[in-house]
Chain A
């Protein structure tokens, strides 16, 4: 699947990057960007193992997508407010009418189903007002993921996406010169799938392919070129990583020489 125009990443509360559109989530997944699902899954709301929309991106992931031209950033607080503030009375009537149309479709389908069921059961008494009431009560109310059905959605989306000053402003908050981003994009370029590292006590964890199919290989830490790694860190990290069958990796880059990010891996030998 190729997408002609860049997708839009919602910037919420100034620093969180979210995707609400399922097609966008599929699209970035094909680019090797996994993110973390953080929303409650309406189909199974009382568990924490499988979560739903929205998908949260690490700042590094958002930056990588924008830098490679796959995405634009949209400041959701302003964007959404603009959409709702510019709703005219006729817009609301239009939305209302569309809603009524889908509801009518569902209603007639439900009535048909009901009739068919009565026929099957051989009930001849028809048309009680009670039945109608029950059908009315059984209609569904849907809450969408995105406001894309609102009339001014496309207009404001384009307005924000095409404002170069705004895009530059949002990007400047992301700081692409940091070591962690360079380590991230280096590992990403070698084909690893990256995820936040808190679960295993590192900056990132890296998977050899889609995390749905593969176990993680690396626990990645970013350490400045002249910074002390700390022997205790190394022993602790190495032991933990080996215990969960992963490698403890430190990535760094010499600031004086313009060269690639260099990575070193530590494995606990269990010697003696």
Chain B
């Protein structure tokens, strides 16, 4: 019973016994409900602890052959041009690969590069604690970064795309707009005589009537939020064809939120954010409107814009996906083939 109930929680939601680190497939370990002060319980706990400490004590090391040195000088990290990580990380300039703070901590932590402090032309190998001290200006950001990297994703700091054209809203002169608005109000009084759909329609089918009474949504113009949210990372699924120089549109975009200091985003903040998001598949979503069936359902469920929030509480990370539902664009009017009571199936 307890197993069935608990199976719903994620593996990562529970602290796992470290014995399972060495087993080929990671599975849920057995745990007890409460202390019974038996010898066997104490010794299994001690076993678990010993496994954990042993795993922690494995030195962070690589061979001379694999050695890549990263130098810290004038507040900047640069590494030799060597190693697989360069395919997705760093920026190459003047025969050096310049690394961001989260990139260098990650690479040092997993034992890929050797951090070097340069002083008067002499070199001293640094350690993990020193690297954290020198570059952890935002540890929450680093923790999300490394969590995603360990999952295998390609992660880079968010950069607004230059090539993307920002569609500027087209403004009519103010007076002309005012006149139009008046006409709009008129429509309500003499409805539906002045609407274009009424003039065109013959009202021979249900769908033409539905079409004529369909609500027209206009996007509301809003003031920019006082505290706009920032997109922190662009994230790509692992892809061997990925190039740093001309990355494709990211698969996801991530906003990092520290739960201790932030409230749920306001509608204003979200709208502003949705205007800026750019990821793969976003443009296709609006194109595939005409397609029906399962795809349509998925499109409605996924919404038109989406952004991932990484919520961080003292090193524990939760991901949350917020997207804009676009029910209004759904084609709900029954077509000739499928319409009315003839379609209804009885059970």
Contacts and interface: CB of A to CB of B under 8 A. Distances in A.
A binds B: yes
Nearest to A78: B133
Interface in A209-231: 209-215, 217
A45 interface: yes
Interface residues of B, number: 79
A211 B31 CA distance: 9
Given A13-B138, A42-B60, A137-B65, A213 B45 contact: yes
A79 B134 CA distance: 10
A139 B127 contact: no
B215 interface: no
B49 A29 contact: yes
B44 to A, nearest CB: 7
Contact of B12 (A48, A76, A136): A48
Interface stretch (A19-27, A118-126, A181-189): A19-27
Main secondary structure on A side of the interface with B: mixed
Interface in B1-57: 2, 5-6, 8-9, 11-18, 20-21, 26, 31-35, 41, 44-45, 48-49, 52-53, 55-57
A40 interface: yes
A84 B132 contact: no
B15 A211 contact: yes
B59 A142 contact: yes
B193 interface: no
Contact of A214 (B12, B34, B53, B58): B34
A185 to B, nearest CB: 16
Interface in A113-144: 136-144
Interface residues of A, number: 74
A177 interface: no
Given A199-B318, A213-B44, A244-B5, A40 B119 contact: no
A52 B67 contact: no
A40 B318 CA distance: 18
B115 interface: yes
A42 B61 CA distance: 8
A124 to B, nearest CB: 27
B6 A50 contact: no
B130 A42 contact: no
Contact of B128 (A45, A140, A144): A144
Contact of A42 (B26, B32, B110): B110
A16 interface: yes
Nearest to B33: A215
A84 B128 contact: no
B110 A92 contact: no
B111 interface: yes
A80 interface: yes
A38 B35 CA distance: 27
B314 interface: yes
A212 B15 contact: yes
Contacts of A87: 119, 124
B118 to A, nearest CB: 10
A154 interface: no
B14 A215 contact: yes
A142 B315 contact: no
B343 interface: no
B313 to A, nearest CB: 4
A46 B32 contact: no
A1 to B, nearest CB: 12
A54 B132 contact: yes
Nearest to B10: A199
Contacts of B56: 22, 25, 37, 41, 52-53
Nearest to B51: A212
Given A77-B133, A81-B134, 20 more contacts: A10-B132, A13-B138, A16-B136, A22-B56, A45-B110, A46-B150, A49-B21, A50-B55, A56-B314, A80-B130, A80-B134, A89-B122, A140-B61, A143-B115, A145-B60, A147-B126, A147-B129, A196-B315, A212-B48, A243-B8
User: 5 smallest A-B Cβ distances: which pairs?
Assistant: A198-B313, A76-B133, A80-B133, A137-B65, A45-B110
22 contacts: A12-B133, A12-B136, A20-B132, A41-B58, A46-B152, A49-B12, A49-B16, A53-B128, A92-B124, A136-B64, A137-B63, A138-B63, A140-B61, A144-B128, A145-B127, A198-B318, A212-B15, A213-B32, A215-B31, A244-B5, A244-B8, A245-B6
Interface of B: 2, 5-6, 8-9, 11-18, 20-21, 26, 31-35, 41, 44-45, 48-49, 52-53, 55-65, 67, 106, 108-111, 114-115, 117, 119-120, 122, 124-130, 132-134, 136-139, 143, 146-147, 150-152, 259, 311-316, 318
